[in-house]
Amino acid sequence: MARATKAKAKSEARKKAATKAKARNARKQPAAKATRFKARTKSRTAKKRRSPPRVNRDDKRIAKVLPKLLRKLVKQPQTSHDAILKTALHKEHLTHAGTAGKPRSLRQPAAKRRAPIKELERRKFFHADLEAQRGRLKNLIVLGKERGYLTYAEINDHLPDDMLDVEQIENIIGMFNDMGIRVYDETPDAETLLMAEAPPAVAVEEAVEEAEAALSAVDLEFGRTADPVRMYLREMGSVELLTREGEIEIAKRIEDGLRHMIHAISACPTTIAEILALAEKIKKSETRVDEVVDGVIDPNAKEELTAKVPQAEEDVEEALDDAEQREEDSAAQSAGMLRLQEEALKRFAAIRGHYDPMMRALSRNGPRSRSYLQARDAISKELMKIRFPAKQIRALCDSVRNHVEEVRAHERKIMDACVEKGKMPRLHFIKEFPYKEGNLQWIKGEIKARRPWSETLQRFEPAIVEQQQKLLDLQARVGIPIKDLKEINREMSTGEAKARRAKREMTEANLRLVISMAKKYTNRGLQFLDLIQEGNIGLMKAVDKFEYRRGYKFSTYATWWIRQAITRSIADQARTIRIPVHMIEHISKLNRMSRQILQETGQEPEPALLAEKMEMSEDKIRQIQKISKQPISMETPIGDDDDSHLGDFIEDHSSVAPNEAAVYASLRSLTKDVLDTLTPREAKVLRMRFGIEMNTDQTLEEVGKQFNVTRERIRQIEAKALRKLRHPSRSERLRDFLDEDH
Give me the pLDDT at residue 664, please: 82
Give me the pLDDT at residue 83, please: 44
Q: Give the span between the Cα atoms of 402 and 406, in whole angstroms.
A: 6
Give me the pLDDT at residue 458, please: 86
Give me the pLDDT at residue 134, please: 67
Are residue 679 and residue 664 in the same domain, yes or no? Answer: yes
Q: Tell me if residue 645 falls in helix, strand or coil.
A: strand
Beta bridge partners of 295: 306, 387
Residue 533: name the closest of 568, 581, 576, 565 by CA: 565
Instruction: Count structural domains, the chain.
Output: 6
Q: Give the span between the Cα atoms of 670 and 381, in whole angstroms.
A: 92
Residue 365 Cα to chain centre, angstroms: 49
DSSP E strand boundaries for 219-311: 295-296, 305-306
Are residue 274 and residue 393 in the same domain, yes or no? Answer: yes
Are residue 607 and residue 470 in the same domain, yes or no? Answer: no
Query: What b/e readout covers 19-38, taking b as 16+ CB neighbours within 10 angstroms?
Result: eeeeeeeeeeeeeeeeeeee
Residue 429 near residue 415, CB atoms below 8 Å: yes
Low pLDDT (below 70) residues in the chain = 1-134, 159-168, 189-226, 298-333, 739-742
Residue 355: name the closest of 267, 478, 472, 294 by CA: 267
Residue 267 near residue 489, CB atoms below 8 Å: no
Residue 639 lies in a domain: no
Are residue 263 and residue 389 in the same domain, yes or no? Answer: yes
Residue 15 lies in a domain: no
Give me the pLDDT at residue 87, please: 45
CATH number of the domain that 682 lies in?
1.10.10.10
Are residue 539 and residue 684 in the same domain, yes or no? Answer: no
Q: At what angle do helices 528-545 and 482-509 cross, to 10 degrees?
A: 130
Angle formed at CA 81 by CA 76 and CA 86, multiple of 5 degrees? 115
3-class DSSP string for 136-203: HHHHHHHHHHHHCEEEHHHHHHHCCCCCCCHHHHHHHHHHHHHCCCEEECCCCCHHHHHHCCCCCCCC
Residue 34 lies in a domain: no
Angle formed at CA 336 by CA 333 and CA 337, multiple of 5 degrees? 85
Last residue of a domain, one of 179, 201, 221: 221
Residue 2 lies in a domain: no
Residue 17 lies in a domain: no
One DSSP character per residue, 309-356 reads PPPP-TTHHHHHH-HHHHHHHHHHHHHHHHHHHHHHHHHHHHHHHHHH
Are residue 121 and residue 204 in the same domain, yes or no? Answer: yes
Give me the pLDDT at residue 695, please: 83
Mean pLDDT across the chain? 74
Tell me how far apart the terminal alpha carbons of the chain are, to the nearest angstrom.
118
Residue 494 lies in a domain: no
Q: Give the span between the Cα atoms of 355 and 358, in whole angstroms.
A: 5
Give me the pLDDT at residue 507, please: 92
Are residue 217 and residue 271 in the same domain, yes or no? Answer: no
Are residue 66 and residue 215 in the same domain, yes or no? Answer: yes
Last residue of a domain, one of 482, 502, 537: 482
Residue 25 lies in a domain: no
Residue 275 lies in a domain: yes
Q: Give the span between the Cα atoms of 363 and 366, in whole angstroms.
A: 6
Range of 702's domain?
Answer: 659-735
Are residue 345 and residue 464 in the same domain, yes or no? Answer: no
Residue 351: name the closest of 262, 261, 291 by CA: 262
Are residue 454 and residue 434 in the same domain, yes or no? Answer: yes
Please give the helix or strand (H or E) that residue 386 lies within, else none: strand 386-387
Q: Give the span between the Cα atoms of 374 and 682, in whole angstroms.
A: 99
Are residue 561 and residue 664 in the same domain, yes or no? Answer: no
Last residue of a domain, one of 379, 397, 415: 397
Q: Give the span between the Cα atoms of 165 and 170, in whole angstroms.
A: 9
Are residue 297 and residue 375 in the same domain, yes or no? Answer: yes
Per-residue pLDDT of 508-557, as tens digits, reads 999 999 999 998 887 777 888 899 999 999 999 999 888 888 888 898 89
Q: Give the span between the Cα atoms of 180 and 682, in whole angstroms.
A: 92
Give me the pLDDT at residue 322, please: 45
Give me the pLDDT at residue 542, please: 92
